[in-house]
């Protein structure tokens, strides 16, 4: 009789341990993060514009991690509409071109708001350039409060200043809202010493320091963004967003992509 009770307790303890391990595996390792999306990532297989299936897929992926209790902020680029100073053939003044690019990020931000709201995510678009009819002005404490209320916050218009990229804006906002990590979404599965889409022998770095990124001139983020992250010990994870489920895997602590940190 006593042996049967002991066996029952042992089986119960084993089940509880297995359940606890399962819950630990499904617990996010980050509570607050900034997801950096390029404008081009929204265009899918098209050369420009917004691809409906792509943006809907991104919205579902973001909802998955928000449902885990993760506070999500998104910095979006505008390259699918306008590349700022890189539109060289137009011979537009650098500052003017950058402002045009900032407006493009707001267009993308509005599209993301719509897609996220349709999948059940309460969302706020905050712009570094005031445009009250379409977005809230960026106020750090207000952005933090939105996150605490489980709203997804989208940052538009970069820093609001020319000569600064949305990579730098992502680093700045991450530091301001006290995020734990920047997730840099790309089309490749990490950081390489050369473009893996062009160089088949390109070497992937599983981990790399900020200093090495700068020394090697790797195109992870621009040098201003990397320096800002280095000064504030803000880790960056570069991963392939085109693979369904990768965003959730990163948040759950699985080894996906490449990590840029102090070492």
The verdict on 4 and 71 lying in the same domain is: no
Query: Which residues constitute the domain of residue 1?
Result: 1-27
- Bridge partners of 185, per DSSP, are 239
Per-residue confidence (pLDDT) for residue 77, from 0 to 100:
94
The residue whose two tokens read 């770095």 is 205
Per-residue confidence (pLDDT) for residue 42, from 0 to 100:
92
- In tens digits, the chain (263 residues) has pLDDT values of 555 555 555 555 555 554 555 445 679 999 999 999 999 999 888 888 999 999 999 999 999 999 999 999 999 999 888 875 555 567 788 899 999 999 999 999 999 999 999 999 999 999 999 999 999 999 999 999 999 999 999 999 999 999 999 999 999 999 999 999 999 999 889 999 988 888 889 999 999 999 999 999 998 999 999 999 999 999 999 999 999 999 999 999 999 999 999 97
* Domain count within the chain: 2
CATH code at 139? 3.40.1160.10
The verdict on 5 and 90 lying in the same domain is: no
The verdict on 149 and 108 lying in the same domain is: yes
The verdict on 133 and 73 lying in the same domain is: yes
Per-residue confidence (pLDDT) for residue 219, from 0 to 100:
86
The verdict on 8 and 59 lying in the same domain is: no
Q: Do the strands 258-261 and 236-240 form a parallel or antiparallel pair, or are they unpaired? A: antiparallel
Per-residue confidence (pLDDT) for residue 44, from 0 to 100:
86
**Token representation of residue 211:** 């200093």
The verdict on 20 and 67 lying in the same domain is: no
- Bridge partners of 191, per DSSP, are 205
The span from the CA of 140 to the CA of 49, in Å, is: 30
Per-residue confidence (pLDDT) for residue 232, from 0 to 100:
97
The span from the CA of 158 to the CA of 170, in Å, is: 8
The verdict on 21 and 144 lying in the same domain is: no
**pTM of the entire predicted model:** 0.88
The verdict on 146 and 212 lying in the same domain is: yes
Contact (CB, 8 A) for 125 and 133: no
The verdict on 53 and 16 lying in the same domain is: no
The verdict on 109 and 173 lying in the same domain is: yes
The span from the CA of 179 to the CA of 177, in Å, is: 6
The verdict on 35 and 133 lying in the same domain is: yes
The verdict on 135 and 21 lying in the same domain is: no
């Amino acid at each position: 009789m006593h042996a049967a009770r002991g066996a029952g307790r042992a089986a119960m303890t084993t089940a509880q341990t297995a359940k606890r391990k399962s819950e630990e595996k499904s617990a996010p390792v980050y509570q607050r993060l900034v997801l950096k999306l390029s404008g081009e990532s929204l265009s899918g297989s098209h050369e420009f514009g917004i691809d409906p299936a792509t943006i809907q897929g991104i919205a579902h992926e973001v909802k998955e991690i928000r449902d885990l209790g993760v506070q999500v902020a998104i910095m979006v680029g505008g390259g699918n509409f306008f590349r700022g100073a890189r539109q060289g053939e137009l011979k537009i003044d650098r500052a003017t071109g950058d402002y045009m690019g900032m407006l493009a990020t707001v267009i993308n931000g509005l599209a993301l708001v719509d897609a996220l709201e349709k999948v059940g995510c309460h969302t706020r678009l905050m712009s570094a350039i005031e445009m009250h009819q379409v977005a809230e002005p960026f106020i750090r404490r207000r952005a933090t409060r939105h996150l605490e209320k489980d709203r997804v916050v989208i940052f538009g218009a970069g820093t609001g200043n020319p000569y600064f990229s949305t990579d730098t804006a992502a680093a700045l906002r991450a530091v301001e809202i006290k995020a734990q990590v920047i997730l840099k979404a790309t089309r490749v599965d990490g950081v390489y010493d050369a473009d893996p889409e062009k160089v088949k022998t390109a070497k992937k770095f599983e981990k790399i320091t900020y200093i090495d990124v700068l020394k090697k001139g790797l195109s992870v983020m621009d040098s201003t963004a990397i320096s800002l992250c280095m000064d504030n010990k803000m880790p960056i994870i570069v991963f392939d967003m085109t693979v369904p489920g990768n965003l959730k895997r990163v948040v759950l602590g699985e080894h996906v992509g490449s990590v840029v940190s102090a070492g």
